[in-house]
Structure 1
Amino acid sequence: MANILFYISLFLIWLMLLYHMFLAQGGYLHFKKFSKVIPEWEKKMEGDLPFVSIFIPAHNEAVVIAQTLKAMVRLTYPKDCLEVILICDNCSDNTKEIGESFAKDYPFIKIIETEGPYKGRGKSTALNYALLHCKGEIIAVYDADNTPEKKAVWYLVMGLLNDSKAAAMVGKFRVINATKTWLTHFINIETICFQWMAQAGRWNWFGIATIPGTNFAIRREIIEELGGWDESAMAEDTELTIRVYNLGYHIRFFPAAITWEQEPEVLGVWWRQRTRWARGNQYVVLKFLGKLFSMKQKRIMFDIFYFFFTYFLFFFGVIISNGIFIVNFFVDLNLSIGNVAVVLWGLAFLLFLTEVMIALSIEKDQLTFKNILYVIAMYFTYSQMWILLVIYSLFLEIKRVIFKEEHKWYKTERFTIKGGK
């Protein structure tokens, strides 16, 4: 029995590793060609431009909101076609006052406060509230810790104007505090891999990308047709992605639109944030798994299965293989695979290192000797923490379903950043 379980777990692990290598190659191909369309696409930006509403959901964001609003002021998108809506959601600090100080000098910046059933219920509810109070044809969303580059919104709108089948255009995000701590070094590497493997790779091979929580633009008519954001979803971006595809549209990854965001600098903040993400994605998988074969857009079935594989099967394989390997030190399980297991683990590590290095090579100044050392350390520490986190998240999600608990939104703690982009 131990041999069978061990072979199954190795198969699941290697299947995921090979798939990510495939995605890394797709990401590199997308990197080489995505910017070639820009000269032609810019021609549609010469006439009347659509009105854009930028939503910034904020709950006690006084530490970072001034820097974010400064970035909004610097945007090159015409200000007569733009409104920036700061959504103060049950704030007890001076987030609103900071926003109002900007609104006095810049009429395109507006401050609203959630009220009634919309107050204090999390990001999705705040976004739905803003949807009732905006006038844009296109809705863009940025988290309160984001500093988009000057042309970020310009590029997002450009993509939508040139791709009629795209319901949403998503940009790239980078880590502004990447070198602050050992944890932010790991997150920076993780983020780069996500951009060029999960986003660019899937777009290149399958025409699939995921709406992130920030730096994306969506057509207003689409989000209204879908009934807004799911207020029960802790990963509202992933949930919205699946509904958009099922409507018959696609989501395009356009890395010319860049934003810089703050990441957790201490382990406790990271754990709570990533737990919310994992629980959110587990919720999405369970919500749509039963509807897998009835969905109109068949290619999104592949993505739902990918999330199911990632948050259930793959981690099951890792846990089983690690468990058997440890138990075999104390109890002879008569594993027939013998030394082959050591070779496979060694090859798996080399494959992991290779695919991460491909992703790092795409970003300027990221494929460094120092980062390679961080990748090696990441394999034995950060990646293993993810295993524990997913187990813990699954436990919480099962408990929530059994006891019919409501989702509780955790707001990521912010830190003061000097300088930045």
Structure 2
Amino acid sequence: MAELFMYISLFIIWFMLFYHMFLMQGGYLHYLKYLKTKEKWDENPGKMPTFSILIPAHNEDMVIENTLKSMIKLHYPKEKLEVIIINDNSSDSTGEIVEEYAKKYTFIKAVHTKPPNAGKGKSGALNQGLKHSTGEVIAVYDADNTPEPDSIYHLALGLNKDKKAGAIVGKFRVINANKNLLTRFINIETLTFQWLAQAGRWYWFKMTTIPGTNFAIRRSILDELGGWDEKALSEDTELSFRVYNLGYYIRFFPAAVTWEQEPENLKVWWKQRTRWARGNEYVIGKYLLRFSKLKNKKIGLDLFYFLFTYIFFFIGILISHAIFITSLFVDLELTIGFVSYVLLVTGFLLFVTEVLLALSMEKQQLTIKNVLTVLIMYFTYSQLWVCLVVYATFLEMKRIIFKQEVKWYKTQRFNQKEQVAVEKTNAKRTS
């Protein structure tokens, strides 16, 4: 019986590894191609649409001013731009800071929400902001984001030149990547995710997941969908599925770049990632149960990806770990013993290769320090993800069984004194 479970776990793990190799190949091909596409589009960008940028903010006085300054620096006609800050029932000085900038700049607007329709999460705040917006295109940035000056132009360019795209997704970078070992792990994780999962899925399947920030979506689509699902903890993933179902695709266009702050300690990381995992599991359950009623069956590709990533793959990992630990104390009489070790070592090498390839696509990221970090990452950060998904699954099952109300966790921010200096070198560091 133990041998059968070992075979099952190895099959699941290697299936995912091969799929990731396939995606990374697509990500690399997209990396080689997208700059040529951008150059061609730049020759005749077309008429720029009016933009409404929504920035939900709940107790963000530590970071909101830097975000507002980056909005002022955007290279986009200000008469076609409105920046709407949704001060979502903040108890700090977020509202005062936003009002100060709104008085100075006519394209910046402040929306203040109050109970009972306030402070319940990002989706609710975005829906409030949407009601006050007028743009043909809606863009979203988190309150800790500092987009590069050309980011909105590139999002608009993508929508102008690709009429089949319902939304355009840009790239995000970690502004505090060098703060400590955890932020270096997160930096490597985000780069790998974007070039493997985002760029790879776009290249092969014309599918990309809307992230929580640095994306633009046609207003007509949001109006048709009725805005954001306020029950979804991962409102971005849930919105992606509904956009697919209307028959549109979501394009990954990494020319649009924003910089964001990431958690600097494990407590904040654990809470944020637990919300992400639970949110994605909510989406899996929501669309798996109604798959037969979906108009666009292509959604099944992404549904399968999320299902395999958050359920089957982690089950395979747990089984292999359990058998390995048990075999240290009990003779399980595994005939595949030696072969399994070879496969596991080879799997580790493939993991390292994929991550290093992703780092090679970004300037100054394929360094000796990052290579060593990747080696450590597999045995620490990646294993921590396994524990987190198990915990998130338990919470989500508990919520369903006891019909508990979904509670939103707002990610804690950290003071970034060096942020201004970092922003000055952003353009030189990105590819």
Number of the residue aligned with 1:240: 239
Instruction: Give the deviation of 1:42 after TM superposition.
Output: 2.7
Number of the residue aligned with 2:42: 42
Q: Secondary structure at the match of 2:142?
A: coil
Number of the residue aligned with 1:188: 187
Do the aligned partners of 1:44 and 1:158 also contact (CA within 8 Å) in 2? no
Do the aligned partners of 2:46 and 2:160 also contact (CA within 8 Å) in 1? no
Aligned partners of 2:39 and 2:391: how far apart in 1? 48
Number of the residue aligned with 1:53: 52
Q: Secondary structure at the match of 1:118?
A: coil
Aligned partners of 2:53 and 2:329: how far apart in 1? 58
Number of the residue aligned with 2:427: none
Q: Letter of the aligned partner of 2:149 in structure 1? A: K
Instruction: Give the deviation of 1:297 after TM superposition.
Output: 1.7
Q: Letter of the aligned partner of 2:136 in structure 1? A: E
Aligned partners of 1:293 and 1:27: how far apart in 2? 31
TM-score, normalised relative to structure 1: 0.98
Aligned partners of 2:44 and 2:99: how far apart in 1? 34
Number of the residue aligned with 1:21: 21
Do the aligned partners of 1:103 and 1:111 also contact (CA within 8 Å) in 2? yes
Do the aligned partners of 1:357 and 1:372 also contact (CA within 8 Å) in 2? yes
Number of the residue aligned with 2:428: none
Aligned partners of 1:27 and 1:204: how far apart in 2? 7
Aligned partners of 1:344 and 1:170: how far apart in 2? 36
Q: Secondary structure at the match of 2:185?
A: helix
Q: Return structure 1 stretches of 4+ with deviation > 6 angstroms.
A: none
Aligned partners of 2:39 and 2:46: how far apart in 1? 12
Q: Secondary structure at the match of 1:339?
A: helix
Aligned partners of 1:66 and 1:158: how far apart in 2? 27
Instruction: Give the deviation of 1:24 after TM superposition.
Output: 1.0
Do the aligned partners of 1:44 and 1:162 also contact (CA within 8 Å) in 2? no
Q: Letter of the aligned partner of 1:300 in structure 2? A: I
Aligned partners of 2:45 and 2:118: how far apart in 1? 38
Aligned partners of 2:345 and 2:165: how far apart in 1? 42
Number of the residue aligned with 1:283: 282
Number of the residue aligned with 1:327: 326
Number of the residue aligned with 1:6: 6
Aligned partners of 2:252 and 2:292: how far apart in 1? 26
Aligned partners of 2:225 and 2:367: how far apart in 1? 44
Number of the residue aligned with 1:254: 253
Do the aligned partners of 1:13 and 1:317 also contact (CA within 8 Å) in 2? yes
Q: Secondary structure at the match of 2:382?
A: helix
Do the aligned partners of 1:76 and 1:151 also contact (CA within 8 Å) in 2? yes
Structure 2: gaps spanning 5 or more residues: 424-431
Do the aligned partners of 1:24 and 1:197 also contact (CA within 8 Å) in 2? yes
Equivalent runs, 1:9-408 vs 2, <5 Å: 9-45=9-45, 47=47, 49-408=48-407
Aligned partners of 2:38 and 2:113: how far apart in 1? 38
Instruction: Give the deviation of 1:382 after TM superposition.
Output: 0.1
Aligned partners of 1:140 and 1:117: how far apart in 2? 26
| 1:181-232 deviation per Cα after TM superposition (whole angstroms, max 9, x unaligned) | 1000000000000110010000011111000000000000101101110000
Instruction: Give the deviation of 1:336 after TM superposition.
Output: 1.6
Aligned partners of 1:69 and 1:409: how far apart in 2? 24
Q: Letter of the aligned partner of 2:302 in structure 1? A: D
Instruction: Give the deviation of 1:294 after TM superposition.
Output: 3.5
Q: Letter of the aligned partner of 2:38 in structure 1? A: I
Do the aligned partners of 1:124 and 1:236 also contact (CA within 8 Å) in 2? yes
Q: Secondary structure at the match of 1:150?
A: coil
Structure 1: gaps spanning 5 or more residues: none
Do the aligned partners of 2:89 and 2:115 also contact (CA within 8 Å) in 1? no
Aligned partners of 1:178 and 1:98: how far apart in 2? 27
Instruction: Give the deviation of 1:117 after TM superposition.
Output: 4.2
Aligned partners of 2:41 and 2:331: how far apart in 1? 64
Do the aligned partners of 1:44 and 1:161 also contact (CA within 8 Å) in 2? no
| 1:58-86 deviation per Cα after TM superposition (whole angstroms, max 9, x unaligned) | 00000000000000000001100000000
Instruction: Give the deviation of 1:87 after TM superposition.
Output: 0.2
| 1:126-158 deviation per Cα after TM superposition (whole angstroms, max 9, x unaligned) | 101111111111000000000000000000011
Aligned length: 420
Instruction: Give the deviation of 1:44 after TM superposition.
Output: 4.6
